[in-house]
Amino acid sequence: MEWIQKEAKTLKKYMSSYVSDLLPDEYTCFGQCNKLTSYDVTRDAKEMWTFRLFCKKACQNDEVKTYQDCLDFCSELCRKNSIHEDQSLNQKWMDRSPACPETSRRCYGVCVAACEFRHAKKEFSDEASKAEGGDNG
């Protein structure tokens, strides 16, 4: 009986680690993205997956260390500058940011929601140091 409990714990750990982006668990960043971009909200399967991707990029970006870094990341991800005439055709096609202003606005909204979730969970280094008493200000 003990080995069954051990295997169940192993399976639960695996499911949490590798499949959490598919589960509707609102207590994870990916789960929050799933909720924000569900078909019930978007009413369009293509939009559902597109915006879910933008949200999850903010969830899994380990390069952002602060809440402000995360917001800057979302701005860069969703609000690209206009393409200059001197850029080659390949560079134009490689720029994958949303072209439509409405799509860009929605992209930014779901991306920022992921940043806010991470901020609330104190996942950024500046918040971790404050929680540990490293910043008295």
Q: Is the pLDDT of residue 12 over 80?
A: no
Helices within 1-137 (DSSP H only): 2-18, 29-36, 39-42, 45-60, 67-78, 89-94, 101-120, 125-131
| Average pLDDT for 93-106 | 68
Residues 6+ apart with CB under 8 A from 52: 33, 34, 37, 110
- Give tens-digit pLDDT for 73-94: 999 888 866 555 555 554 444 4
Which letter, b or e, does each residue of 35-74 get, where b requires 16 or more Cβ atoms within 10 Å of its Cβ? ebbeeeebeeeeebebbbebbbbbbebeebeebebbbebb
- Give tens-digit pLDDT for 108-130: 999 999 999 999 999 888 755 45
What global pTM score does this model have? 0.66
